[in-house]
Chains A and B, each alone.
Chain A
């Protein structure tokens, strides 16, 4: 920096803490990142389920009851929505990170995978289908 010029007084404000509230684009980014919070709830349910499975049938039935409680169902519906929002963003970013095929084709194939896996779970657990 030229020291002879002492009228220079560059002004750099501190980076604002609430930067992510300033633009809609940033809000959606934070929403994307926040999808992992409900995800952690569902993972906890699964770990609790594994624990119950290891403790015998009566504990397993308690876990099934737990999963049917209204607040648990409500949180899981939220988690489902979060996972689908995550999927949308993730599928759209993937072709930009690894451009293997036309983006629209890559996105469609990824959604197909999600639908096939979901179908698999439903068929596996709901033999009535």
Chain B
């Protein structure tokens, strides 16, 4: 264990006009994660606020910026930042207090694309799915809703109405699911200006995603789907079926 310095962005809405960085001493070895360090600091200063739960990259609640890059605190280690380390709240979201951000806009975007199986078929037989059918969407089903991709996305920063990486990846995931019949209900969201079309394939979302979902690929596959949908709509409205 050696003692080292870390910076943490602090913001107390009852006192501060805006966030500022404060430095703290923590004891760290090779296994000390950013989350461990935050918990040590909380021992020194119980007013420090941050979210966490599972400590194993499953719950998706411990997202923070580490040196300006979105990371899961529990999966990021101090040993990888020998020089300096500054922890700040996730970018592109409003800070409530210290490292806690308001995730409400993210959750609204998620629910807007109906991320659940839509299938009103009355059937008593189970929906059998082959391994090939599972493989089509499995990668996009690994999302833990951590929101890191929204902090990585300049298009979301520029336009908060953009549905964003995780939501569009999830829409793609359900559209690809052989048990789902809801694609027609989701396409209008994808087809919109604030749907897939705000994306310019910056690609940093896929870079920071802790679950290798590759939301950028999902969005751009969504563009292909949206283009097909447009062609279909032309045929439909001209009466050809």
A interface, CB within 8 angstroms of B:
7-13, 15, 19-20, 22-23, 25-26, 29, 33, 93, 96-99
Contacts and interface: CB of A to CB of B under 8 A. Distances in A.
B223 A29 contact: no
Contact of A93 (B92, B96, B158, B220): B220
Contacts of A15: 92, 154, 157-158
Interface stretch (B12-20, B23-31, B124-132, B186-194): B12-20
B197 to A, nearest CB: 14
Interface stretch (B56-64, B74-82, B202-210): B202-210
Given A19-B154, A23-B68, A11 B207 contact: no
B96 to A, nearest CB: 6
Contacts of B216: 96
B95 interface: yes
Contacts of A23: 68-69, 204
A7 B220 contact: no
Contacts, number: 59
B51 to A, nearest CB: 15
B18 to A, nearest CB: 6
A26 to B, nearest CB: 7
Contacts of B203: 25, 29, 93
Nearest to B154: A19
Q: Which 4 A-B pairs have the closest CB atoms?
A: A10-B94, A9-B13, A96-B217, A12-B94
B102 interface: yes
Contact of A97 (B11, B202, B220): B220
Contacts of A98: 221, 224
A97 B19 contact: no
Residue in B14, B68, B202 whose Cβ sees the most chain A Cβ within 10 Å:
B202
A98 B221 CA distance: 7
A11 B69 contact: no
B235 interface: no
Contacts of B68: 22-23
12 contacts: A10-B95, A11-B95, A12-B95, A19-B157, A20-B154, A23-B204, A26-B204, A29-B203, A33-B200, A93-B201, A93-B220, A96-B221
Nearest to B201: A93
B129 to A, nearest CB: 20
A11 B157 CA distance: 14
Interface in B127-169: 154, 157-158
A11 B13 contact: yes
Interface in B211-229: 214, 216-217, 220-221, 223-224
Contacts of A97: 217, 220-221, 223-224
Most buried by B among A9, A22, A29, A93: A9
B93 interface: yes
